[in-house]
Every structure is written in structure tokens, then in C-alpha cells.
Structure 1
Amino acid sequence: MSPDNNGRATDAMKTDLGEAGQHFKGAAVAAGDAIKGAATAAGDEMRLGKAQMKAELADGTLSSISAAENLGAASREQVDAIMDKGRDLIDSAAELIRERPLASFGVAFAAGWIIAKLGRSSDK
């Protein structure tokens, strides 16, 4: 070190180090603020997502309840349709028996004979 500097280099270095420290401190504060901001934003998004999830679950539950309520009515509709078809079949059979009683008796006798024959053969 030359004697004519009179410590100016040391003072300049201290000043530069002080400024560097201030910049690093500012960077740390900015990073902390960014992290806090990100955490706040993430928390807000989590709360929003939670609210949306609850709303969707509630809507799904209501739809399921509505479907369950409609299930009874749909079952009654199906039973009514089956009963109507059964009545139609019985009416058709009754009409056929009235129109051709001898043929109906013959078919009934043959069916009974076949069922009896099958029943006897399964006993062996």
C-alpha cells in the first residue's frame, strides 16, 4: 500500500462491503416477502379450492338424493309396465281358450304329460 493513499482504499472497501451487505439484506427481505406472498397466495388458493370442493360434493349429494327419490317412481313405472304386459298375456290366453277350447285342452294336456315325464326321469 502506498503511503499517499491515506487509508482511502480501506475506507472504499468498507463502503463497498457496507453497500454489498445492504444489497444482500435487501435481497433477503425481498425473498422473504416473496415467500410470504407465495404462502398467502397458496393459502388463498387452498381456501378457494376447498370451498369449490365442498360445493361440488354438496351438489353431488343433492343429485344422488334426487336420483334415489326418482328410483322409487321408476321402479313403480317398471312394475306397472310388467303388470300391464302380464294382464295382456292373460287376456290373450283367455281369448285363445274361448276361441279354441279343444286345442287349448290338448296343448295343456300335452304340456302336463311332458312335465310329468320329465319329473319321473329325473327321479332315477
Structure 2
Amino acid sequence: MSTMKENLNEAGGHLKQAAIHAGDTVKSAASAAGEEFKLGGTNVKSELADSAQAGKAAAGQAGAAAKEQMDALMGKSRDVMDSAADLIRERPLTAFGVALAAGWVIAKLARSGDSDK
């Protein structure tokens, strides 16, 4: 009987040690997972910050390109206005006739649009 008791005590001791080792393993795994989670969170924040900076840079470049296009368009419109002014100075009667005809056509179109209603 005493051998059986010793064997049961030994088995209980081994079970107790196995439970301690299992607990330590779980704690270790939880700690490692927590560290990995923190590292992953830091990496995500870093990537988001880099993405925001790249987005700002792209927006700045788009703004600069839009400004260049606007400047070019304004330059062209100034050229057209200057050409029109030169044409009016060179041929004032022709310019007056074209303006009068354009006004008449616009008035005619406006009147025909009102009668449709």
C-alpha cells in the first residue's frame, strides 16, 4: 500500500509541475502575443503616417499642376482679348456689325425659348 501511495504522490507532483509549466507557457505566449500586438500597432501607425505624408505630397503636386494650367489658361485668354482688341481697333465697323448680329441672334433665340413655355 505504501508503494501505491508513493506512486500516487509522485504522479500528483508531476501533475502539479505540469500545471505550473503549462501556466508559465500560457503566460509566456500571452506576453509574446502582447509584444507582437504592440509592434504590429506601431507598424500600422507608421504606415498610416507615411500614407498621409504621401497623400499630402500628391495633393501639393496636383495643386501646383492646377496652378500651372490656370496660369496657361489665363495667358491664353489675355492673348485672345488682346487679339480681339486689336481687331476692334483695326476694323471698328466690322466689329460693331458682328456684335449687333450676335445680339440679334441671341435675342431671337431668347424669344423663341420663351414662346415654347
Normalization by structure 2: what TM-score?
0.72
The AA in structure 2 aligned to 1:113 is: W
Which of 42, 45, 65 aligns to 1:51? It is 42
Matched, 1:17 2:8: yes
CA distance in 1, matches of 2:64, 2:77: 20
**1:80-123 CA deviation, whole Å, 9 max, x = no partner?**
12223434545666788899988877655443322111122234
CA drift at 1:74: 2.3
Matched, 1:28 2:19: yes
Structure (1 or 2) with the larger CA radius of gyration: 1
CA distance in 2, matches of 1:13, 1:99: 126
Q: Percent identity?
A: 57
Of 86-95 and 14-23, more deviation after overlay is shown by: 86-95
The AA in structure 2 aligned to 1:116 is: A
Of 60-69 and 91-100, more deviation after overlay is shown by: 91-100
5+ residue gaps, structure 1, are: 1-9
Normalization by structure 1: what TM-score?
0.68
Give RMSD over aligned pairs. 3.0
CA distance in 2, matches of 1:101, 1:12: 129
Matched, 1:62 2:62: no
The AA in structure 2 aligned to 1:22 is: G
